[in-house]
Amino acid sequence: MTEKLVIIGNGMAPGRMLEHLLERAPGRYEVTIFNAEPRVNYDRIMLSPVLSGEKDYEQIIIHGDGWYIKHGIMLYKGHKIVNIDREAKTVTSDHGVTESYDKLVIATGSVPFIIPVPGKDLPGVITYRDLDDVQAMLLAAQSREKAVVIGGGLLGLEAAAGLAQRGMDVTVLHVMPTLMERQLDPAAGYLLQKAVEERGIKVICKANTKAIIGNGKVEGIELDDGRIIPATLVVMAVGIRPSVGLAKDAGLAVNRGIVVDAGMQTSDGDIFALGECAEVGGMVYGLVAPLYEMARIAAAHLSDDRSPAFVHADTPTKLKVTGIELYSLGDFADGDDREEIVLRDASAGVYKRLVLKDNKIIGTVLYGETADGAWFNDLKKKATDISEMRETLIFGQAYQGGSPLDPMAAVAALPDDAEICGCNGVCKGKITSTITSKGLTSLDDVRAHTKASASCGSCTGLVEQLMTLTLGDSYNPAAVQPMCTCTELGHDDVRRLIKAKGLKSIPAVMQELEWKTSCGCAKCRPALNYYLVCDWPDEYADDYQSRFINERVHANIQKDGTYSVVPRMWGGVTNSNELRAIADVVDKFEIPMVKVTGGQRIDLLGIEKEDLPAVWADLGKAGFVSGQAYAKGLRTVKTCVGSDWCRFGTQDSTGLGIRIEKFMWGSWTPAKLKMAVSGCPRNCAEATCKDIGVICVDSGFEIHFAGAAGLDIKGTEVLGLVKTEDEALEHIVALTQMYREQARYLERIYKWAKRIGLEEIRRQIMGDPEKRQAYYERFVFSQKFAQVDPWSERVSGKDKHEFKPMATIGYPQAAE
């Protein structure tokens, strides 16, 4: 009989536990997850690269929505559990959802420590713990003003580096004499501070915060020596504490963390705890490797295998700041019974220190050159006597034997049980054997099958060396990445071959390009559908089943299963008749939320799926068409009032915005496309952070492109200046068509521009009139087939099965 497993928390540890559990005991549990964050499971370790702009949120997702659906897991997003009733064996969320359990796993993680100083609650003071914190920092970074990071540990330095890369003036305040004093000795701490300061970040050590000052918002930090450090943003990164309140209220044994045994079981035999909230053997953990070990053990015990037990092991520390190589492991404190070997190379910025006890390594600090970290770790774990290699030990594995070896020979010399990926506990032998047995040829394949390099990524170089060692010349790290596991081809090759071979259907593409699967997957089908729509607008019929749910039903699904509807308002302009029609629809269908959007439109939220066609019908009578707020296509053209009303306006920005939107609506693009037209350089329509923007000036229209204002914050690039509205429209349309034809599916315009080069885009659009005209004409041709209102089509009965309510059936019918 299926048991009910409820998991509180959806971080990296419970996610990994579920992976193990699905392998060990498929079908045993009916799984329900309550996640306080309103999103799926993501790699929290990689928040720093998201902050710095090296990655985006989509790239750090571990389990997307499809993974939960595939495994029959119910995920409640944005639901915080407020009560555990151990007697009734139920949990209740802050949204009133109560779920019973047979087994319960608590993975509530940790909460950031807030230093108790005056001003800690001022607006502009934030912590650094999750994606919401990153989004808050990215928003603050748009100001390009002053940020202060309190805390010179791992998280603090990563936050400081990310904010500095985003253009902020950053100061780090650290209460101790050197940075990262818990992981580094003073010498390495000095080198680290020097490297951080070379990145334009000011560092003040022995800085004790007295107060955070400001009138209604943060304005600075006052230190106990009287100094004032100006700031418009303060990030507290001074440590974490296990989140134990829920467990404590439930009567579970709690110390620093939720007390568990070596099998992750709490004082209640049906409740387990793991991750940062758990305390095992008197210790709590914050690094990912021990958390993943907890996950493995909990999955085993939930599968009735009681043999695995948690054993403490030292975990290396690595800093995720591009260009800073740092590795720390074990005990490097001074002591009478210890000796050390030190190597310093001032010109190269290299510092290495090995701490020995009884001729065995007990601690390692590496700065500037960390390639031998895995080897030193292996020697430490095995308690290897280093007497015979003592003279050359500090130079690394490549020098054992007296002369330097080829780096690949050093990797080859590592034993099969040498740990390569500390986060996931993956050894060399598992990587090489999996490459051979499964025929893996790419880094993504190795990550998918072994988890090596899939978390913090710091071992990527070693993994790639092992791939070269195993595959020889057949491994090319610079090779094109396949668009998915169904094909060996990358997006660019697929696009090229669709045109070259005249492929005009998804089955034709899969047959002629030798797809490995019968019908593709959730990655390739939407991409192929877009490429075919773009390349053959007059011949290809849009494949409804290859679109995501929002594009299938032409509305945005909300977390409670209802939908939101956004009618198009040309250039953000409306009138009393349209507003009355919206009000009537709201009243008639009892729509619970009406919201003005950032794109100058009105969003109607909380509509039942079966009511959508009727809502659209009433809106259509008032002249509304779909605002396509769900689409990989043109969303909005935001405008200011321009020269008709504003005393600063230089051109009719409203009129131009309406003209652009009416000309281009309905077109599909690789990713969402947002535009704006500002009537003067004061830029009230925020055109300089859009995908495409126009700044009106006295001499004409300045066209901008490749901006971003989401998780990535980026100002636009200037395409060029044109004199007339007609020219502006032609250039914008041609640029959009170039993007449509050359970008990869889901690639925003700023990423596409970075990949192919700004000058190449300017050359084709501004410098080549014939090519620009050809792009323009192809877009105009495609619009003959694209400008059909999907709402009116569905009001007329198209895809009507999508909007039928699910039947309610009883147990006898279900049994039949």
Residue with tokens 């590795």: 327
At 518, list the tokens: 């019968």
- Sign of torsion, CA 179 183 188 192? negative
pLDDT tens column, 189-220: 888 999 999 999 999 999 999 999 999 999 99
- CA-to-CA distance for 272 and 278, rounded, in angstroms? 9
Residue 352 bridge partners (DSSP): 343, 366
Strand partners of residue 40? none
Q: Please indicate whether residue 542 or residue 544 has the higher confidence score (pLDDT).
A: 542
What pLDDT does residue 713 have? 81
In the 8-state DSSP scheme, what is residue 520?
A: -
Q: Tell me which DSSP letter residue 668 carries.
A: B
- Joined tokens for residue 592: 């619970």
Q: Are residues 755 and 656 in the same domain?
A: yes
683: how many CB neighbours lie within 10 A of its CB? 17
Question: Which residues does residue 525 pair with via DSSP β-bridges, in sequence order?
Answer: none
Distance CA 7, CA 29 (A): 11
715 and 702, same structural domain? yes
Task: Kindly tell me the burial class for residue 211, based on how many C-beta atoms sit within 10 Å of its own C-beta (0-12, 13-18, 19 or more).
Answer: middle
Going by their DSSP bridges, the two strands 3-8 and 103-106 should be labelled as parallel
Q: Tell me how far apart the alpha carbons of residues 161 and 199 are, in angstroms, rounded to a whole number.
A: 8
The reply to whether 650 and 777 lie within a common domain is yes
Q: Which of the pair, 364 or 453, is modelled with greater confidence?
A: 364
d(CA 111, CA 105): 18
Residue 297 within any structural domain of the chain: yes
Lowest-confidence pick of 32-36, 557-561, 676-680:
557-561
Q: Are residues 664 and 766 in the same domain?
A: yes
**Distance of CA 382 to CAs 314, 329, 387, 415, Å?**
12, 14, 14, 12
- Decide if pLDDT at 814 tops 80: no
Lowest mean pLDDT among 334-343, 574-583, 646-655: 334-343
Distances in whole angstroms, Cα of residue 615 to Cα of each of 274, 636, 691: 47, 21, 31
Q: Are residues 102 and 187 in the same domain?
A: no
Pure H helices in 6-93: 12-24, 47-52, 65-70
Is residue 640 marked as binding? yes
What totals of helices (H) and strands (E) does the chain contain, helices first? Answer: 26, 40
Do the domain assignments include residue 570?
A: no
Assigned domain for 192 exists: yes
Q: Which ranges in 554-597 belong to alpha helices (H)?
A: 576-588
Contacts of 305 (CB under 8 A, 6+ apart): 24
Are 663 and 698 spatial neighbours (Cβ–Cβ below 8 Å)? no
Q: Give the CA angle between residues 589, 592, 551 to the nearest 5°.
A: 75
Q: Is the pLDDT of residue 742 over 90?
A: yes
The owner of tokens 């070269």 is 468
Among candidate residues 215, 238, 261, the one where a domain is terminated: 238
Structure tokens at 613: 């066609």
Q: What is the pLDDT of residue 1?
A: 77
Spatial separation of the C-alpha atoms in residues 418 and 425, rounded to whole Å: 10
Residue 643 predicted with pLDDT over 90: yes
Token readout for 600 is 């100058």
Q: What mean pLDDT comes out for the span 653-665? A: 97
Q: In this model, does residue 135 exceed pLDDT 60?
A: yes
Q: Quick check: 403 pLDDT over 50?
A: no
Q: Which amino acid is at 423?
A: C
CATH number at residue 132: 3.50.50.60
pLDDT of res. 322? 64
Token pair 């080897």 is at which residue? 375
Contact 174, 205 (CB under 8 A): yes
Nearest to 30 by CA among 115, 117, 100: 100
Do 696 and 678 touch, CB atoms closer than 8 A? yes
Rg of the chain in Å (alpha carbons): 29
Rounded CA gap, 728 and 656, in Å? 9
Q: What are the b/e assignments for 752-761, b being 16+ CB within 10 Å? A: bbeeeeeeeb
Distance CA 702, CA 721 (A): 4
Amino acid at 401: G
Give the strand pairing for 110-112 and 220-223: unpaired
Residue 7: name the closest of 103, 77, 95 by CA.
103
For 239-265, give one letter per residue: b (16+ CB within 10 A) or e: bbebbbebbeebebebeebbbbeebbb
Specify the DSSP element, H or E, that contains 294.
helix 288-302
What CA–CA distance (Å, rounded) separates 611 from 426?
51
Other Cβ atoms less than 10 A from the Cβ of 84: the count is: 23
* Dihedral angle sign, alpha carbons of residues 505, 511, 512, 516: positive
pLDDT score at 59: 87
Answer whether residue 730 is part of any domain: yes
Please report whether residue 664 resides in a domain.
yes
| 30 close to 5: Cβ distance less than 8 angstroms | yes
C-alpha dihedral (718, 720, 725, 728), degrees to nearest 10: -80
Average pLDDT over all residues of the chain? 91
148 and 223 together in one domain: yes
Do 200 and 269 sit in the same domain of this protein?
no
Does the pLDDT value for residue 295 go beyond 50?
A: yes
The answer on 729 and 685 residing in a single domain is yes
Same domain assignment for residues 132 and 233 = yes
**Residue-level pLDDT at 544:** 80
Residue 652 lies in a domain: yes
- From start to end of 168-257, where are the E strands? 169-174, 202-205, 209-213, 220-223, 228-230, 233-236, 240-242
Is 642 in the same domain as 773? yes
State yes or no: 680 annotated in a binding site: yes
Q: Which two tokens stand for residue 73?
A: 């897991």
Of 436, 424, 511, nearest to 470 by C-alpha is 436
In the chain, pLDDT over 90 holds for what percent of residues?
A: 68
pLDDT, tens digit, 9 for 90 and up, residues 470-528: 888 777 776 668 888 889 899 998 999 999 899 999 989 998 898 988 888 989 999 99
What per-residue confidence (pLDDT) applies to 449? 87
Q: Does residue 137 form part of some domain? A: yes
Q: What is the CATH number of the domain that holds 711?
A: 3.30.413.10
What's the pLDDT tens digit per position in 69-118?
999 999 999 999 999 999 999 999 999 999 999 999 999 999 999 999 99
State whether 216 and 68 are in the same domain.
Answer: no
State the average pLDDT over residues 13-24. 96
In a shared domain, residues 87 and 220 = no
Instruction: Print the domain residue range for 134.
Output: 125-238
Tokens of 296: 């493995």
If phi over 0 gives left and psi between -120 and 50 gives alpha, with beta otherwise, what is residue 600?
Answer: left
pLDDT confidence band for 801 (50 / 70 / 90): confident
DSSP state of 537: T
pLDDT of residue 816: 37
Per-residue pLDDT reduced to its tens digit, 225-272: 999 999 999 999 999 999 999 999 999 999 999 999 999 999 999 999
Secondary structure of residue 402 in the 3-state scheme: coil
**Does 521 show up as a binding residue in the annotation?**
no
Which of 16-20, 441-445, 637-641 is the least confident region?
441-445
Mean pLDDT in residue range 160-186? 92
For 632, phi then psi, to 5°, come to -85, 80
457/305: higher pLDDT: 305
Q: Rounded CA gap, 393 and 556, in Å?
A: 60
In a domain, 429, yes or no: no
Residue 811 is predicted with a pLDDT of 42
- Which residues fall within 8 angstroms of residue 116, CB to CB, at 6 or more apart? none
Alpha-carbon distance values, 212 to 116, 146, 220, 236 (Å): 10, 14, 6, 11
pLDDT score for 414 = 80
Please state the domain count of the chain.
4
CA-CA-CA-CA dihedral for 807, 808, 811, 815, to nearest 10: 10
pLDDT at 463 over 80: yes
> Which amino acid, 812?
P
CA dist., res. 502 & res. 524, Å (int): 18
Q: Which pLDDT value is given to residue 347?
A: 78
- Last residue of some domain: 281, 302, 323? 302
- Does residue 198 contact residue 190 with C-beta atoms inside 8 Å? no
Tell me how far the alpha carbon of residue 599 is from its chain's centroid: 24
Q: Where are the alpha helices (DSSP H) in 422-504?
A: 428-438, 443-450, 460-471, 491-500
Q: Which residues of 524-550 are buried (b: 16+ CB within 10 A; e: fewer)?
A: bbbbbbbbbbbbbbeebebeeebbeeb
Last residue of a domain, one of 238, 254, 285: 238
Confidence tier at 10 by pLDDT (50, 70, 90): very high
Q: Is the pLDDT of residue 712 over 90?
A: no
